[in-house]
Amino acid sequence: MYFKKYFLVLGASMFCLSIADAGNAKIQSTVSSQIKSKTKLTEKKVLLIARQIAKINGLRLADFQEPEAHYELVHKDQSWVVFFKKKVMSVDGDIMIIVNDRTSESYLHHGG
């Protein structure tokens, strides 16, 4: 009897998680379309700029995971934040590049 209850609860939990994932995908899609409508730069262009800035500053992109770009992550200042996370932990650590959506001006920050 215990096992039947366990599998029933597990099945119900998995069903709820799949519904939640579907809901999250819909929310992310809505957010992405809202971001596209109010930005000058596309996420693809921002990632290209960030990769160029990283290379100019002597970073070896092969040492990092694929970067993640976020629009107005902290401040509503029309900027993108691009995170480059190291594949392996090291002393010099992760980096963050800020890209201004209006001017394309960019700044590199070491995360440590």
Could you write out the DSSP letters of every residue in 65-111?
Answer: PPPEEEETSSSSSSEEEEEE-BSS--SS--EEEEEETTT--EEEEE-
- Say if pTM beats, i.e. exceeds, 0.75: no
pLDDT for the residue numbered 81: 95
Mean pLDDT of 44-73: 94
**AA letter at 65:** Q
91 pLDDT tier (thresholds 50, 70, 90):
confident
